[in-house]
A = this chain, B = another copy of it.
Amino acid sequence: MGAAKTAISPTRAENYPEWYQQVIKGADLAENSDVRGCMVIKPWGYAIWENMQRVLDQMFKDTGHQNAYFPLFIPMSFLEKEAQHVEGFAKECAVVTHHRLEPDGKGGLRPAGPLEEPLIVRPTSETIIGATYARWVQSYRDLPILINQWANVVRWEMRTRLFLRTAEFLWQEGHTVHATAEEAMEETRKMLHVYADFVENYMAVPVIKGEKTAGERFPGADMTLSIEAMMQDRKALQAGTSHFLGQNFSKAQEIKFQDKDGEVRYAWTTSWGVSTRLVGALIMTHSDDDGLVLPPRLAPAQVVIIPIYRDDAQRAEVLEYCKTLKQELGSQIYSDQKVRVEIDDRDMRGGDKKWYHVKRGVPVRIDIGPKDIAAGGAFVGRRDTNQSQSMQRSDLVGGITGILKEIQDNLFQRALAMQKANTVELQNEAEFRSFFQPDDEQGRSSGGGFAKCWFASESEVQPLLDELKVTIRCIPLESDSGDASSGEGTCFLTGKPTKTRAIFAKSY
């Protein structure tokens, strides 16, 4: 494959949305299933998700949370209890109406055994978990409740895209109950920071932490915090959300407790979640025109060793060298775990094998042939830079942790530079319109990025946003204490004075 040709076609510049699909196909991450909008997550894609789960799960446990599991189904009447919540989810939910099948008399089957009350396949679990918490919480001594659930959820999206938007997806949803608003708010912020920590330090994806405007909040929340990442087409992707639910759900579900002073009070709740969407964010942030690029900390294989030989005699020698090298590399510790090394000894042309691993994003490729062995070395390729070099074996073994760290850091810095280069401050409508030109037919943005703009009123700017297909991503947090952006300016659209500045962007 020549220098001019890329492993993935089309390239990012040619057709970004189609490039994304082809990266997924080339890396064998997932595919569309026979069920509308539902995906099959293939082993390589699922292994990435498993690594994400492992790290996040430990972060949740380190912050005092326990896992539990709640029902897949939600009685329809539960959804009805919180008005905004049902408004947000009623239009896109899978409804179970029957509990068996019977012969239809024409050789096929039909639903039978109608349920007294339809059940909704959970699109999120505030209502069913809230009803459970109402039974668990009697006294202030029962608080806080700090629980997380790993689960599948279903939202009947009309237009789906692998990982980014699917009818069924995998996620975790934290649901907590607190005695005071302050505690619940602290939890909401704490989990946003956990997400930001994970996404930046493990996924190597820089994010903006911020608060959603009223129009973009989670249905039923008093406040929604989110982390927003910039993809390579300069669109925003919401990578995680943490909701302060106030007393909305505790009132809808009757989560009450007797406080220290003997008074019965409604509790304060939060919820927070990230999903398999993160895999989409990972793909779109780092991958290039040769396919997937994985940050080492989440790569299912961090190093692949490819033995190269011409005959059986060479094979034995080369494989032996590879095995001991694998053992030495695999006993090094990177990111608190043994380095994950694989030998690929499949019967396959060398070039095909190389591109196989390039497309799958393995951070480090090591070719070992008789010449490398003679020289006591190895030929080492980095996926992030696509540069290769010969190294002495001892340098490689002693340096592998450093190489992985360098790749991890490089990916983050590269993505951060991209984000910074495409974040601007806009003062007026003309600048705004010029920045957010419509995508062309191939889905390419001719511009765009993150625009920081002062604005006075969400409803006043909404028509323009709808026209340009732009959304308010968030009001960035000024500091980790969670204060919204401070200062003062004039609305980019109306010129009115305002204290609110937000990130505007096209988004996934």
Residues of A within 8 A of B (CB): 31, 33-35, 38-43, 46-47, 49-50, 66-80, 86, 90-102, 108-111, 113, 118-121, 128, 131-132, 147, 151-152, 154, 156, 168, 170
Residue in B46, B98, B152 whose CB lies within 8 Å of A72: B152
Across-interface contacts of A121 in B (CB, < 8 A): 72, 96, 121
> In the assembled complex, how far is the CB of residue A197 from the closest CB belonging to chain B, in whole angstroms?
23
A147 to B47, CA, bound (A): 12
Residue in B102, B151, B154 whose CB lies within 8 Å of A90: B102
Check B93–A68 contact: CB distance below 8 A: no
Check A95–B94 contact: CB distance below 8 A: no
Check B69–A41 contact: CB distance below 8 A: yes
Q: Which residue of B lies closest to A34 (CB)?
A: B131
Across-interface contacts of A113 in B (CB, < 8 A): 156
A34 to B77, CA, bound (A): 11
> Contacts A66-B43, A66-B47, A101-B120 given: A128-B34 contact, CB under 8 Å?
yes
Check A132–B40 contact: CB distance below 8 A: yes
A67 to B31, CA, bound (A): 15
A147 to B45, CA, bound (A): 13
Residue in B40, B70, B74 whose CB lies within 8 Å of A40: B70
A39 to B132, CA, bound (A): 11
Across-interface contacts of A109 in B (CB, < 8 A): 76, 79-80, 86, 90
A276 to B66, CA, bound (A): 18
Residue in B102, B118, B170 whose CB lies within 8 Å of A69: B170
A121 to B97, CA, bound (A): 12
> In the assembled complex, how far is the CB of residue A171 from the closest CB belonging to chain B, in whole angstroms?
12
A361 to B34, CA, bound (A): 45
The 7 closest A-B pairs by CB, nearest first: A38-B71, A43-B66, A90-B101, A95-B98, A41-B69, A99-B156, A95-B111
